[in-house]
Structure formats: structure tokens, C-alpha cells
Amino acid sequence: MDPAVRDRPLAETRTTQPTPAGAAAVPDPQSGPARHGAAPRPAAVNDFVKLWVDECAALCQPDKLYWCDGSLDERQALFEQGVRDGIFTRLNQEKLPGCFLHRSNPNDVARSEHLTFICTPDQDLAGATNNWMETKQAHHKLRGLFHGCMKGRTMYVVPFVMGPIGCPLAKVGVQLTDSLYVAVSMGLMTRMGDVAWRQLGADDEFTRCLHSVGDVNPERRYICHFPLDNAIWSFGSGYGGNALLGKKCLALRIASFLGKQQGWMAEHMLLMGAQQPNGQKSYIAAAFPSACGKTNFAMLIPPQQYRDAGWKITTVGDDIAWMWVDDKTGKVRAINPEAGYFGVVPGTNDETNPNAMECMKRDAIFTNVALLPDGDVWWEGKTKDPPPEAIDWQGQKWTPAIARETGRKAAHPNSRFTAPATNNPVLDPAWDDPDGVPVSAIVFGGRRSRTIPLVFQAFNWVHGVYLGATLGSETTAAATGAQGVVRRDPMAMLPFIGYNIRDYLVHWFRMRKRMTDCPRIFHVNWFRKDDQGRFVWPGFGENMRVLKWIIDRSQGKAYARETLVGWMPRPEDIDLNGINVSRHDVEAIQTVNAEEFKSEILSQEELFLKLAGDLPKEMVFQRELLIARL
């Protein structure tokens, strides 16, 4: 076994209590050298940042401060340090140049929604679907945890920008963290380093992100958001969504709140470009709940005959979109605020997502995958046949026989790759454009084995918002609890709306008033099954056929018939050339059964009851209209 793996329980996963409040001296931020060599405070840091970093250092009492500059030399040095500390294992550099493996604490492998809070003076600001903590109480609780928590550790100062540099919507954040893994990952996922000081200038407007892995104890784990203060305090977890604070915490929860105040939208959506044979380009934003293939869709490879004809799909982003209405044209534009991917690996392979496989061939971090004897990595679904032996995500010997006997997985079901967007062979040329891209269509989708058709278009914006708000998806084996149960996940944003869901839905309805022409809204379901329980639609690259109808519709070119749920293609409107799906099959998965839709409406009650008394009137009217059509 790699000695670095065997000896790894250092600060990132330590299980001791944080040192109680003490009177340790605050390190002089200018004094170096830190463990990684001198990392003095850059001259460009403004007084607002200095003051706040000093306050946080006084609270957390780190031994050293390290100001990240975002250079490649620095990344290299941090990886080297991480290998020495046992935080990273260097992988086979011939097969995977620049790639490293990280193993997290086994109690810290996913986002902790039940430990995630919106902290405001009044519960109504957080609304019925968020965990809420009163601001002062949250400060008190978290201050106690942060007090002295970085003794013996380095505090990394990680400045970053979410969004293309120069974009009016781009936001600066500064994350203070005692996790080297987080500091390096932020360098892949955001525009990290000195560029952020330049973007910030003398301004006080930056998101204050304080993070400590603490003692990685779920009993002392809190992911707290203070939207009114533009601040995030995260304690006790090193897992991506809890700890890379630019992503879910800033770019969705805090940003959705800022968007509501400033008239734009932060959404849990991929952004893709689709170029037609005549050169015309459309951009599509799509929201699917987790485990519905968002990254796969964002990197879709069209079927051969589409490629031959000149179709090209490109990725702007795979997880988050910020959208606004352009003043001059009245049309929606969007950016991807991130600069990298943090994707789930199990099930990803050269067939399901060759572009994602390409993204992780160099300069990537793998978290909680299995390690092969030659320093390569493996996860369930990577290859048809499992390797004869591996070291599993917890550092234990693993063989297919052990897996059969114990059911133990080699890779954790939520194991991930982190890679820069620039690794993506189909990265859209405008992915970094400060003007963003125009959005022609918004697609909502869920995993539904029955009832919901393959594709349909909303009658109009208000109806589309209702479709998004009532989005449902079936639970899978990847999550604990009963399988196949439909859970409502409005706009796939349920865990990410940083304020009251009532106001969030009103904001969606009102955004229409700013638009002269709005993106067309669609609903897709790749997962409908036949009476024998088989998936009818092949999915993956073949989704291009549905996408083509969506694009044609948003350009006013394709036929659709009116049904009780929306505008729908006839089977002959979807191109089936070259696949083993008949018109009859399409007819079957497009069927709208009025009785099933009555149950669907009843199952939406769960959401409506939660919002009781708080439901925007448009939601009530849309439900009434649907009932009237049945």
C-alpha cells in the first residue's frame, strides 16, 4: 500500500476535539515563511479584506497564514505539500499527468442538507423549505466552534472570482480555510488568485467565506449562510458542496438571494451550445435534479449522422447558470460562474460520457475512487470488467470476490473528479465571455418511470415556471430511503434557494416582465419505462434528437400539437433514423393519461401544503387550469 495512504490521518481528517478557547498570539500576516515557502500578503489586498482576515485569524488562531496567488507554481507546490502530508496520493503520472487522489473522512462524503442553514433575523426570510437559524444564535454557536480551531494549522487565504473576469455580474469571494485540499480545489473550480484582488479593487463587496474542517465531526458540522451579510461560515466538513464555498454556497444560495434583490437569477442549470449545420447557434439552459445526468447532457456527443451533417454541441457549464435580461434587447443572457467541474464518477465511462473521461485525464483531483496497483484509478461502471484488485475509497484491499461477499464498493457512490473547464474538448468558445451567451430555451427534467412524457413545451412562461416549480424526480439507490418515490424539487433548486421559496417563485414570474421575448420552456423525461419496466428511450447522445425538436421549436420551426400538458411533438416530429425506437414506442412514452395526471396533481400537494397560504397566485391558477383541462 502507498505509505502516503497508510499514514494519512492528519489535519484534514483529524478526529480530536478542536483546542478550546485560548490566548494564542495572532500570527503576523506578513511574516513568512509558511510551510510552502513565503506567502506574504499581496500589496493589492484592500483594507476591508485585511481587517476581516485579521479578525478571522484572531478567532481561529492558525499558526500560519498563506495568501494564495493562484499561479501554477503554487498549485504544484501545494500538491507536493499535500502528498507529504498524506492529503493527496500522487497517481501514475504517465497515465494521468498532474492527477492526484484524495480520500475524505468516511463520515464526510456528501452535502449535509440537514446541517445547512439560512441564517436571518426572521424565519420568514428563510421560508418553509430551508433550515433556519437566527443570525445572532448562529454567530454565537459558530464563533464557539471556530475559536482556536486552526491552532497548529495553516490558514489559506483563497481569493476567487465567480464568473468571467470583467462580467458585470461576476462576484468576488475570499475563502479562509484550513484545508489544503479545499485551497487547491478552489484553484480548479474558480478563477482563483491575484485576479480577484484586481477585480475587487478598493471595494468592500466580497463574500466573506470562513471555513474549517474542524474535527470532521458530524455532531459539530454546520454550513451557515448569512445572505443579509454576504457571508458563509462552514465548519466541520471538507466535502466539496459543504467546503468549496464558491459553488453551492456562494454561486447558488447567496447568489440566488443577491439575484432576487438585483433583478437576475442564479440557477442550478447546465448551459450548452448547439450549432446547427447552417452555422446558427443556440444556447440551452437545463435544470435536472441530481442523478438525472446533467453533466452527461452538458457534454453530449451527437449521433454520427448529426456530426456528419455538421451538428456540434459545446459546454458552457455543467451545474450552475447566472441569468439576466439584457437591457438593450430584452433577451435573457447567461454565464457559468464556475471555472471547473466537480462531477460524479461512478457510471461515467467512454460510452456514457467520453468528454468527461477526457476532462479527467490530466490535472484532475479524484476524491474517494479506488486506487489500482499501477497508480491508475477505478470506479464502478468505468470498465465492463472490474480490476482483479484495488485499494478501495477507504484505503482497504478490494477484489471482485470481496465485493461479492460483502457488497462493498471500490469507489464511493458519490466519488468525484475535479477538473478545470479548459480540459473539456467541447468547451464552448464563449464559456469565459464576460457578455455571456443568449439563452433560447430552458429545459426542466426529472427521472420519472411513468406519467411524464419524453418531451413537451410549456404554453408560455407562467406555465413553464409552474412546470419547473412542480418538478419531480424519483429517488434512486444512491440516496438512503425508499426508492422510486417521487420527490418534488422545484427548479432542481430545493436545497439551494438562499431565501424564501415563495419569493423565489414570485421572482421567476416577475422576471418575465423585463423580457421582450422569453426563452421557450420545455420539460423532458429520458427515463419513462414500458409495461415490462424497460427504459424505452436510449438516452445519452440520442437525446440530441429531442434537443433538435426543442431548438427547432424555439426558432419557431417545428410542428407541435396542443395537449392537456403542453405543446407536444407527434412521433413523426422526432427523428428516429438509425435507432431502434419505433414511432409506436415514441407514441407510448408521449402518452398523457388523464387518470395518472390526476394522481400527479395530488402528489404535488406535498409542495403546495408546505407553501400553504404563501403560494403565488400564478401557481394556484396554473393548477386550476391544468385540472380544468383534464
Catalytic (active-site) positions: 292
Using the minimum distance from each CB to ligand OXD, give the nearer residue, 282 or 296.
Answer: 296
The yes or no reply on residue 290 touching ligand OXD (CB under 6 A) is yes
User: Which CA distances in Å does 397 have to 254, 329, 388, 393, 400?
Assistant: 42, 60, 11, 10, 11
Taking alpha carbons only, the member of 326, 292, 335 closest to residue 540 is 292
Residue 413 CB, shortest distance to ligand OXD, in Å, is 13
Contacts of 71 (CB under 8 A, 6+ apart): 193
Using the minimum distance from each CB to Mn ion, give the nearer residue, 158 or 344.
Answer: 344
Q: How far apart are CA 317 and CA 272, in angstroms?
A: 7
Residue 553 CB, shortest distance to Mn ion, in Å, is 26
Residue 319 CB, shortest distance to Mn ion, in Å, is 4
Residue 341 CB, shortest distance to Mn ion, in Å, is 10
The β-bridge partners of 418 are: 342, 365
The yes or no reply on residue 230 touching ligand OXD (CB under 6 A) is no
Using the minimum distance from each CB to ligand OXD, give the nearer residue, 61 or 295.
Answer: 295
117 binds, among ligand OXD, Mn ion, none (CB under 5 to 8 A by kind): none
Among 27, 148, 163, 241, binds ligand OXD (CB under 6 A): 241
241 binds, among Mn ion, ligand OXD, none (CB under 5 to 8 A by kind): ligand OXD
Pairing relationship of beta strands 154-162 and 171-177 according to DSSP bridges: antiparallel
Using the minimum distance from each CB to ligand OXD, give the nearer residue, 32 or 413.
Answer: 413
| 3-state secondary structure (DSSP) of residue 365 | strand
Q: Which residue has the cell 513568512?
A: 32
The Cβ-side half-sphere exposure at 180, using a 13 Å CA radius, reads 27
Contacts of 615 (CB under 8 A, 6+ apart): 502, 608
Q: Which residue has the cell 430551508?
A: 130
- Residues in 559-598 that interact with ligand OXD by CB under 6 A: none
The yes or no reply on residue 111 touching ligand OXD (CB under 6 A) is yes
432 binds, among ligand OXD, Mn ion, none (CB under 5 to 8 A by kind): none
214 binds, among Mn ion, ligand OXD, none (CB under 5 to 8 A by kind): none
DSSP code of residue 419 = E
Taking alpha carbons only, the member of 509, 524, 416 closest to residue 473 is 524
* Contact residues for Mn ion, defined by CB under 5 A: 319
412 binds, among ligand OXD, Mn ion, none (CB under 5 to 8 A by kind): none
C-alpha grid cell for residue 542? 440520442
Q: In Å, how far from its chain's centre is CA 437? A: 20
Strands (E) in 72-177, as ranges, are: 89-90, 100-102, 116-120, 131-134, 154-162, 171-177
Using the minimum distance from each CB to Mn ion, give the nearer residue, 319 or 380.
Answer: 319
Using the minimum distance from each CB to ligand OXD, give the nearer residue, 146 or 342.
Answer: 342
* Torsion angles phi and psi, residue 318, rounded to 5: -115, 0
Contacts of 221 (CB under 8 A, 6+ apart): 112, 115, 214, 235, 236, 237, 242
Using the minimum distance from each CB to Mn ion, give the nearer residue, 319 or 392.
Answer: 319
Using the minimum distance from each CB to Mn ion, give the nearer residue, 176 or 251.
Answer: 251
String of contacts with ligand OXD for each residue 243-282, x by CB under 6 A: ----------------------------------------
Q: How far apart are CA 465 and CA 362, in angstroms?
A: 40
The yes or no reply on residue 89 touching ligand OXD (CB under 6 A) is no
Q: In Å, how far from its chain's centre is CA 98? A: 23
Among 108, 319, 376, 618, binds ligand OXD (CB under 6 A): 319
Using the minimum distance from each CB to Mn ion, give the nearer residue, 192 or 252.
Answer: 252
Pairing relationship of beta strands 486-488 and 520-524 according to DSSP bridges: unpaired
* Torsion angles phi and psi, residue 98, rounded to 5: 75, 10
Q: How far apart are CA 411 and CA 408, in angstroms?
A: 9
154 binds, among Mn ion, ligand OXD, none (CB under 5 to 8 A by kind): none
Residue 348 CB, shortest distance to Mn ion, in Å, is 15
398 binds, among ligand OXD, Mn ion, none (CB under 5 to 8 A by kind): none
Residue 479 CB, shortest distance to ligand OXD, in Å, is 11
111 binds, among ligand OXD, Mn ion, none (CB under 5 to 8 A by kind): ligand OXD
Using the minimum distance from each CB to Mn ion, give the nearer residue, 127 or 495.
Answer: 495
State the angle between helix axes of 617-629 and 501-511 in degrees (0 to 180), rounded to the nearest 10: 70
- Residues in 324-353 that interact with ligand OXD by CB under 6 A: 342
Q: How far apart are CA 553 and CA 443, in angstroms?
A: 12
C-alpha grid cell for residue 479? 440516496
Q: What torsion, rounded to 10 degrees, do the Cα atoms 336, 340, 345, 348 define?
A: 70
554 binds, among Mn ion, ligand OXD, none (CB under 5 to 8 A by kind): none
Residue 241 CB, shortest distance to ligand OXD, in Å, is 5
89 binds, among Mn ion, ligand OXD, none (CB under 5 to 8 A by kind): none
H helix or E strand, kind and range, residue 49 = helix 47-60
Q: In Å, how far from its chain's centre is CA 232? A: 17
Q: How far apart are CA 473 and CA 446, in angstroms?
A: 5
Residue 205 CB, shortest distance to ligand OXD, in Å, is 26
Residue 247 CB, shortest distance to ligand OXD, in Å, is 7
DSSP code of residue 427 = B
Residue 585 CB, shortest distance to Mn ion, in Å, is 31
How many residues at the interface with ligand OXD, by CB under 6 A?
A: 5
Residue 269 CB, shortest distance to ligand OXD, in Å, is 11
State the angle between helix axes of 461-469 and 617-629 in degrees (0 to 180), rounded to the nearest 10: 90
153 binds, among ligand OXD, Mn ion, none (CB under 5 to 8 A by kind): none
C-alpha grid cell for residue 118? 439560512
- Residues in 32-51 that interact with ligand OXD by CB under 6 A: none
Using the minimum distance from each CB to ligand OXD, give the nearer residue, 244 or 455.
Answer: 244
Q: Which spans of this chain sit near ligand OXD (rule: CB under 6 A)?
A: 111, 241, 290, 319, 342
